[in-house]
Structure 1
């Protein structure tokens, strides 16, 4: 198989990330008010639907990573695509809160097979310059996280929230299943041809996994708040849902460029410095959303924030790749990203809960900034530890 086929894999992974993560990470943000209006559920309770899906992603990340190391990422991704599409379509017929929790938990459990294993597969195709390839693939998630809520806002207005969920589920199956069939493992080196040998990780894998897990828990707690609550925050200023979703879409369109740019930056300056730059950008910017009141101002600020915050996940992925051994990479990345999804669930839930308690989003977004500061502390100390360890090995 030609080495250039790796770019086909990149495109297939980008498409599945767009469809799956656009629905599971923050796609429910445009369903907050429709579900409140129909069932009278509190915003924290509705946010917990999304959190249930993210807990599923977290638990599934561990299981799917292990299955991918054993059976291969393409097989795991195909099964995951079928389950995610079926669960989203089934949600159209639900009318009890616990049913939403269960169905989205199952969707997340399966959806984990569309994240860490395919991204580890992308890294396997690109032993050199993996940062750019992973950045392009992960940019698909930014496309979905902006495009899915934006399109769904119009679908809800046209066919109601039930029709929107059914449409999403059917389209998910039509798009993701064929895309997963394009995901193929890279060819093994021919006899007599030396394989590219990666340098050994500078720290023990279990220590790296624990350290990165704590860091991503904090950075994704920060990240989740604007992703889940920016649309209802804007709607609170008497701005229509399609316009509010348009701001999120603009933010995540900028995030496409940010993911690619930070992937290239990680190749140039290293993944952890790139992660620290993106994290500082995100932490400084997140609280500013609560000081904006005009739609035009949201449209100006959101893309600036989006470009920088988007570099966080690309840098996380490249850092995890650099610090974990190849033979266990899908498993360990699954564990690390599992904590990332827990952070998303925690951030989204606390955002809704503190809104219900205070009637305002200020505390929710301030908590996000605090979590961002803790992430910066963890990543900075890891970077210094790895650098000292590298010097000791070279001595």
Structure 2
């Protein structure tokens, strides 16, 4: 297929790649969210403490983020299809071994280490890599769609797996997830393509079919070199700082502990998982819209509003838990609309500030900060729940740090100033 035929065709194969990536990220996010429905069953069956389980989850969350900058280099070096197939295979094996575990250290090995590293290869950086390689136009929209896959993963997975866990036991929910992973693995192996050049196409929005540049660096040192250069930039620290608070207030806190917190108020697991799924539904809308907005408006101010509104919703959450179910539904809608809506503006700012070549790895380091925040909240909230008997303090604290993140966002330099800063 030549350039002329690719541009005249009504259908662009890059959208197939986006769909496969969306499903892959959806499944990865669904697996990463599973500990939230396993926490209480593990307490009951194994006698493990809430703090001990939270510690394992926090390790998995951190490693999930730490893989980001290295996965960006690995994806460029070996190609998207090979890396994703290998990651899905490792994830499936680790989950198949989960029902056999009898000790907390085994849970830490399988879900803290192996699952954290495997899902880390299929995190936001995968979506950024796909959008960078396949799209010039509509890149923000694509990033928004792929980011929203995490919310969709909760929407599809959590209520179903919570129902299976309640009716048949947590082991059967694990087996169900493994079956889904295997199906996705075969879909990736058959239909995924690494670059438009592989099918004779130009990146969307251009007309020239070009061979992708070979990755020449070292997959371990290249991310470190990119980090070293970005450390000179105040913009990097602001992006990383706001994303730390983003992780602290989303998957680390709400994604990990909301179901358990609802249990403290007599709300059953299936209903609590439904609340997370409801958030996922609205985040699918909010994050996709955020991608569209990121192509059109100042991304710094978008982040200001996203973090500010999220902070207000978290300050409202303790009151919603004590009030009527309608208050929790209102929280789910309000919070859900911008749960992961911060990602498209952050990706856009990273690309504007540091250039297309480095943006994947640098955004990967920003994601490390996100997961460090998530890891802190996952462990810290569990410990505070054991100590204080409720989640009120972690929820209120998360609300205030989001308001602080909103103020940090408007301090991010505009693109031209930041590039000059890095070059200096």
TM over 0.5: yes
Structure 1's 211 and 186: CA in aligned 2 closer, same or farther, altered over 3 A?
farther
Query: Partner residue of 1:90?
Result: 97
Q: Which moved more, 1:54-63 or 1:349-358?
A: 54-63
Query: Are 1:366 and 2:396 an aligned pair?
Result: yes
Unaligned runs of 5+ residues in structure 1 are 196-203
Query: Are 1:260 and 2:288 an aligned pair?
Result: yes
Preserved CA contact (<8 Å) 1:88 1:165: yes
1:49-77 superposed Cα distances (whole Å, 9 cap, x missing partner): 22121122122223212212222233222
Structure 1's 313 and 44: CA in aligned 2 closer, same or farther, altered over 3 A?
farther
User: For 2:338, what is the secondary structure of its paired residue?
Assistant: helix
Query: Partner residue of 1:27?
Result: 34
Query: Are 1:239 and 2:267 an aligned pair?
Result: yes
Query: Are 1:326 and 2:356 an aligned pair?
Result: yes
Q: Which moved more, 1:8-17 or 1:320-329?
A: 320-329
Query: Partner residue of 1:186?
Result: 196
User: For 2:253, what is the secondary structure of its paired residue?
Assistant: helix
In 2, the alpha carbon distance for the partners of 1:177 and 1:339 equals 32
In 1, the alpha carbon distance for the partners of 2:42 and 2:164 equals 15
Preserved CA contact (<8 Å) 2:24 2:122: yes
Query: Are 1:153 and 2:162 an aligned pair?
Result: yes
**2:378 paired residue among 339, 348, 355:** 348
Query: Partner residue of 1:199?
Result: none
User: For 1:114, what is the secondary structure of its paired residue?
Assistant: coil
In 1, the alpha carbon distance for the partners of 2:285 and 2:93 equals 31
Query: Are 1:6 and 2:34 an aligned pair?
Result: no
Query: Partner residue of 1:198?
Result: none
Structure 1's 325 and 374: CA in aligned 2 closer, same or farther, altered over 3 A?
same
Paired residues, what number? 382
Query: Are 1:213 and 2:240 an aligned pair?
Result: yes
- 1:1-395 aligned at under 5 Å gives the runs 2=6, 4-24=12-32, 26-104=33-111, 105-115=113-123, 116-179=125-188, 181-184=190-193, 185-187=195-197, 193=208, 205-206=230-231, 207=233, 208-223=235-250, 224-292=252-320, 293=322, 294-382=324-412, 384=413, 386=415
Structure 1's 87 and 320: CA in aligned 2 closer, same or farther, altered over 3 A?
farther
In 1, the alpha carbon distance for the partners of 2:183 and 2:58 equals 26
Preserved CA contact (<8 Å) 1:69 1:328: no
Structure 1 residue 387, shift from structure 2 partner: 6.6
TM-score, normalised with respect to structure 2? 0.83
Structure 1's 359 and 339: CA in aligned 2 closer, same or farther, altered over 3 A?
same
CA RMSD in angstroms, aligned pairs only? 2.5
In 2, the alpha carbon distance for the partners of 1:305 and 1:34 equals 27
1:307-336 superposed Cα distances (whole Å, 9 cap, x missing partner): 123312233233333333222333222222
Structure 1 residue 388, shift from structure 2 partner: 5.2
TM-score, normalised with respect to structure 1? 0.89
**Greater fraction helix:** 1
Q: Which moved more, 1:159-168 or 1:240-249?
A: 159-168
Structure 1's 215 and 266: CA in aligned 2 closer, same or farther, altered over 3 A?
same
Query: Partner residue of 1:200?
Result: none
Preserved CA contact (<8 Å) 2:196 2:202: no
